[in-house]
């Protein structure tokens, strides 16, 4: 009985190591070439920013000191986390952006996908 228990423990640790390796590999597989992330920004994210955000968040004195006019301003490693928070707030909740009303779920999904992108 003790021998069976030991074998189960050994098999468990072998499986655990295999799972950890697979998780690490899948994370690496999800990384994208940085030029593709920047292209996604230019083609998908920036048009939404331009129509909803840059009216206030651009120029020499952007609202809140937050400029949203180029990739480095909004990159997944930059300020995007707080942008995601603001656009996901409920109607009427303090800090919702844009201030005139919630963006469509389609637009929010574009930001979320951009936020989840990693590049190497």
* Whether the predicted pLDDT of 47 surpasses 90: yes
Alpha helix positions (H), 30-96: 34-40, 46-52, 71-74, 80-87
* Whether the predicted pLDDT of 24 surpasses 60: no
Task: For the chain, give the mean pLDDT.
Answer: 79
* Whether the predicted pLDDT of 89 surpasses 90: yes
Q: What is the mean pLDDT of residues 54-60?
A: 94
Taking the model in full, what pTM does it have? 0.68
Domain ranges in the chain? 1-31, 33-119
Residue 51, pLDDT score: 95
Q: Are 86 and 99 in contact (CB under 8 A)?
A: no
Q: Are 114 and 42 in contact (CB under 8 A)?
A: no
Q: Is the model more confident about 51 or about 84? A: 51
Q: Which residues are CB-neighbours of 53 under 8 A, at least 6 positions away?
A: 68, 97, 98
Q: Torsions phi, psi of 114, nearest 5? A: -60, -40
């Amino acid at each position: 009985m003790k021998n069976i228990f030991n074998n189960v423990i050994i098999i468990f640790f072998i499986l655990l190591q295999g799972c950890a390796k697979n998780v690490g590999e899948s994370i690496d597989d999800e990384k994208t070439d940085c030029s593709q992330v920047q292209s996604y920004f230019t083609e998908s994210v920036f048009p939404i920013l331009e129509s909803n955000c840059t009216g206030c968040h651009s120029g020499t004195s952007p609202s809140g000191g937050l400029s949203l006019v180029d990739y480095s301003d909004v990159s997944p490693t930059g300020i995007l986390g707080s942008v995601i928070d603001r656009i996901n707030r409920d109607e009427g909740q303090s800090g919702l952006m844009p201030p005139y009303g919630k963006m469509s779920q389609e637009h929010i999904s574009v930001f979320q996908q951009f936020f989840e992108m990693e590049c190497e």
